[in-house]
Structure 1
Amino acid sequence: MASKIHDVIVVGAGLSGLQAAYDIQKAGLSCIVLEARNRVGGKTWSVPLANGNGTVDIGAAWTNDTNQALIYAYTQKFGIELIKQNTEGNCIFQDKDGETHAFPYGTSPKFTGANVTDLERIRDLVHDLSVAYGSRTGSVEDYDQMSLEQFVISKGGSQKTVDMVRIWSRVMLGVEATEMSAQYFIEYNGKGGGLKTLRSDEKHGGQYLRFREGTQSVSLNLATLLRPKSIHLSQPVVSITDTPGLVTVTTSTGLTFQSRKLILSVPTPLYQDITFSPPLSGGKLTVTTSTTLGYYSKVILCYSSPWWTSLPSGLNACGLAISYQSPVCVLRDTSTSIDGQYSLTCFITGLPGTIWSKLPQHERRAQVLSQVYRLFAGTQSKDDDKEKVKEEVYNPVEVFEQEWTKEEWSKGAPCPVMGPGVLSSVGKALKEKVGNLHFVGTETSDVWAGYMEGAVRSGVRGAKEVIDVLGGERVGAKL
């Protein structure tokens, strides 16, 4: 049996759990954190290159310095250096037939005039609806009973537009546009300021800034602010028993811990891996069993130079590519030139990702390299230039591959998604407490859900809930 009854136990040492524990301890209450992994950070995971040239983020990677205020405040508090996402140069689009073309960053691919107009019309419609939600003025109609794809079709979207929305759905949430509620997608974007904001790499945008030493640097620094021996790693929680005034937690190692309150900071669908007594029921159970995590993988190709910025044809590529082919739907330049780290991050998500994931590792890697070659070689007019591109693509200095869906304690990324009908029926139950149990995580945030900012904000909320009940100094969001 446990030898001490803590004020609070936090399950999960990602950003939301660490933030909750920090606020609770600042309020003078006792708190420990139980983490299943052998590290802190959750989906923030930064790995150094073998050659010593910097790090790569195989999990969360971007922030900004304006509307993601809490994460930005931590970068200032901890002296974490931020670098701007490269947007200088041309993007590349790859169509269904494999044909490629370049287009300036900030513009639409070179579709026919009618298709460009239609794509921008649907983009603006989703953006306006999401901004209306975010400003709490609300949309005229609720679209929860239809999928995102059905929504686009109902608004007269062309096939080219539907195909692009499928890319949005895959790269943003790892699911197909047929699997996600249109209203959920609208609200998800609204929590971050609108579709255009979430997709932007420029000032105020979701992908404006990256972390020189990786996003895990926030989690690692935050963990040092907790009292010594507060974090217990490699302790997967298998059961939670809630009785009046006392919560008992058992881990897979056979250890037992007790507390007056508990904050659960794991992805909602993973609640099913824990035995609750009494069992979760009602809306909380429905939310748990009805939210899904998309298929999400990153393959990061590291090179000795940023060869894509000086292609033989003279095309100055910024490293952003969008593809209707598979397995890679989006490619990003994730270099840190100051450290000599030059990388292209390939996003492999949704249904194409699940198909790709079944292949042996060497075939998965071969498919990725082949597609990256076709993306850049297709912009070259001479065979000799294509050979030069091939030589560059097929000679990475290091390759990282992370399948978040196969990671035991995440099972997908970036956050749980709701299909048609779920949000309107039980969406409010997502962050509702049950007995002595409180629930946090980026998906429960009203601001920047799915992002690091949302995770930290949810941790602030969860801490305030238990502090208000147990007493102690109120701390809010002050860092």
Structure 2
Amino acid sequence: MSTAEPWDVIVAGAGLAGLVAARELAAQGLSVAVFEARERVGGRTWSCAFPGTETTVDLGAEWVAPGHHAALVAEYERYGIELLPDGEAGLPRTWLLDGETLSGDLPLDDAERAAFEAFIGDLVAEAEVLTGQPAFTSSPGIEVPFADRLAELPPRVAAVLSSLATSVMGALPSDVSVVGMLDDMAEIGAKPEPGEDGENGFARSSQRRVEGGVGQLADRIAATFEARLFLGAPIAAVAQDADGVEVTLAEGTAHRARGLVSAVPVNTLADIAFRPELPADIALLAAEKHSGQAVKAIARVAGMPGDAALSMWPPALTGAIGIGTAVAGWDDALVICFGLPETLDPTDPDALTAQLRRVFPEARVVEVACHDWNADPYARGAWFAPKPGQWALLAAFLQPHGRVVFAGSDISPTSLGYMDGAVVSGRAAAERIREVLGA
């Protein structure tokens, strides 16, 4: 069964990229339909109340770097959404490195710190060489596992860098391309604003959270744009012909449009049957999938300070950040915990308790809020982290596939893997599909 009236554009996915693209297209007078598989908008952003409270927490994407994420900050200003003060800056950090408990921003002696800073300096210089080149071009020398670069470093320096890399990328250093780390540290193609370089040389580590949760942005776009939104409508197939595209939903209904913006995560693309088939590089990345597999849980923890930060290597728990309390007067802290699926079950309070007690002996997890993005069929992973060899594949997403264009934080040429990248990519996709349609 088909719709009686075709749309100008169908958008697949109501994450930030899809919603921004739909809003821009509808504002320019095109008829737009957005089909979202979930019963909510926002994609891998999702804000909800922590159990038993009215305090909003974010189960997915959360942090914003104002000096780097200009497109995202402009969206917040447009909808009157406020950023919280930089509460994480200067938190006392504890490190558990190979079973040894240490403290300080960098738990390194003078010689180790010199090796660390030299390593970071070399990486930043390497990233600057790539700045200004076409998106997603690199040399074979940086399409290798980040772990390879750590092999000759002093053991503690390698442990610190491994912990930071795993936390930032949501994957082990052995599974992440060097160029992915370069992009995250120096954001290839974009310069940080003065004063926005983060501690330890990580260009975007100076980040803030959003008052009331990041999910507000998707909700407000969806509530005010002129596109037609369909929730609970997963797409099963996309077929093109000379006149347009036909999108078939999982329940069998077909809808026609002159063009399509595909704004679904890269790791879910293989679940949609495209005809003609996707270009080789896109199909390869869709089949291989990126390596971002971070597990996130927000835990109510007794016996642990609410202003602590924790890093570990080996990564049983890749990191933990205290964000205060959910209710005024609570003694218990809210702690954001990160891990990897092979080492941490975020739904198991006892497992979280055991890991936190390695540093905070009195810690006890009382309640947990989390979402398994790896098992989620409409995500199949966390934020984008490229495997060695995948960087160059991303260039294919910047070109139309007939009447289909692509959007999403996974493929954005700037702020790759961040909410800002989703906004940038959504705007670019709106322009690209207008060019395809001759609108």
Q: TM over 0.5: same fold?
A: yes
Q: Distance in 1 between matches of 2:127 and 2:92?
A: 28
What's 2:183 paired with?
A: 187
Q: Distance in 1 between matches of 2:305 and 2:91?
A: 10
**Mapping 1:268-287, distance limit 5 Å:** 268-287=266-285
Report how far residue 101 of structure 1 moved: 2.5
Which runs of no fewer than 5 residues in structure 1 stay unpaired?
A: 310-317, 378-389, 473-479
Runs of 4+ in 1 over 4 A off after TM superposition: 135-142, 192-204, 336-342
Identity %: 23
**Mapping 1:387-402, distance limit 5 Å:** 390=362, 393-394=363-364, 396=366, 398-402=367-371
3-state SS, counterpart of residue 211 of structure 1? coil
3-state SS, counterpart of residue 210 of structure 1? coil
8 Å Cα contact 2:146/2:177 also seen in 1: yes
Tell me whether 250-259 or 447-456 shows the greater mean CA deviation: 250-259
What's 1:217 paired with?
A: 216
What's 1:116 paired with?
A: 113
Equivalent in 335, 349, 354 of residue 344 of structure 1:
335
Verify: 1:354 aligned to 2:342, yes or no.
yes
Q: 1:418 to 1:64 in 2, by over 3 A?
A: closer
Report how far residue 206 of structure 1 moved: 4.4
Equivalent in 168, 177, 183 of residue 164 of structure 2:
168
Alignment-mate amino acid for residue 453 of structure 1: D
Equivalent in 309, 313, 321 of residue 332 of structure 1:
321
In the TM superposition, what whole-angstrom CA distance separates every residue of 1:219-260 from its partner, at most 9, and x where no partner exists? 1111112226x1100111011111112101111122211100
3-state SS, counterpart of residue 122 of structure 2? helix
Q: TM-score, normalised by structure 1?
A: 0.82
Q: 1:295 to 1:340 in 2, by over 3 A?
A: farther
Equivalent in 126, 131, 146 of residue 123 of structure 2:
126
Q: TM-score, normalised by structure 2?
A: 0.89
Q: Distance in 1 between matches of 2:48 and 2:417?
A: 21
Report how far residue 263 of structure 1 moved: 0.5
What's 2:357 paired with?
A: 373
Report how far residue 296 of structure 1 moved: 1.5
Q: 1:410 to 1:137 in 2, by over 3 A?
A: closer
Q: 1:50 to 1:62 in 2, by over 3 A?
A: same
8 Å Cα contact 2:291/2:386 also seen in 1: no
3-state SS, counterpart of residue 371 of structure 2? strand
**Mapping 1:15-414, distance limit 5 Å:** 15-86=16-87, 87-97=89-99, 99-103=100-104, 107-109=105-107, 111-134=108-131, 136=133, 142-153=140-151, 156-191=152-187, 200=199, 205-227=204-226, 230-302=228-300, 308=305, 318-335=307-324, 342-349=333-340, 353-357=341-345, 361=347, 364-377=348-361, 390=362, 393-394=363-364, 396=366, 398-414=367-383
Alignment-mate amino acid for residue 118 of structure 1: A
3-state SS, counterpart of residue 44 of structure 1? coil
Which runs of no fewer than 5 residues in structure 2 stay unpaired?
A: none
In the TM superposition, what whole-angstrom CA distance separates every residue of 1:304-338 from its partner, at most 9, and x where no partner exists? 8x9515xxxxxxxx421111144211111234779
Q: Distance in 1 between matches of 2:176 and 2:315?
A: 21
Report how far residue 117 of structure 1 moved: 2.2
Q: 1:231 to 1:200 in 2, by over 3 A?
A: farther
Q: CA RMSD in A?
A: 3.0
Q: Distance in 2 between matches of 1:49 and 1:422?
A: 37
Report how far residue 289 of structure 1 moved: 2.3
8 Å Cα contact 1:64/1:208 also seen in 2: yes
Q: Distance in 1 between matches of 2:223 and 2:183?
A: 34
Q: Distance in 2 between matches of 1:427 and 1:407?
A: 23
Q: Distance in 2 between matches of 1:294 and 1:89?
A: 26
Q: 1:198 to 1:274 in 2, by over 3 A?
A: farther
Q: Distance in 2 between matches of 1:118 and 1:157?
A: 7
Matched length: 431
What's 1:382 paired with?
A: none
Q: 1:135 to 1:281 in 2, by over 3 A?
A: closer
Q: 1:140 to 1:67 in 2, by over 3 A?
A: closer
What's 2:12 paired with?
A: 11
Q: 1:338 to 1:78 in 2, by over 3 A?
A: farther
In the TM superposition, what whole-angstrom CA distance separates every residue of 1:351-404 from its partner, at most 9, and x where no partner exists? xx32434x9x5xx32121122122234xxxxxxxxxxxx1xx3263x3113221
In the TM superposition, what whole-angstrom CA distance separates every residue of 1:448-472 from its partner, at most 9, and x where no partner exists? 1111000000000000011233355
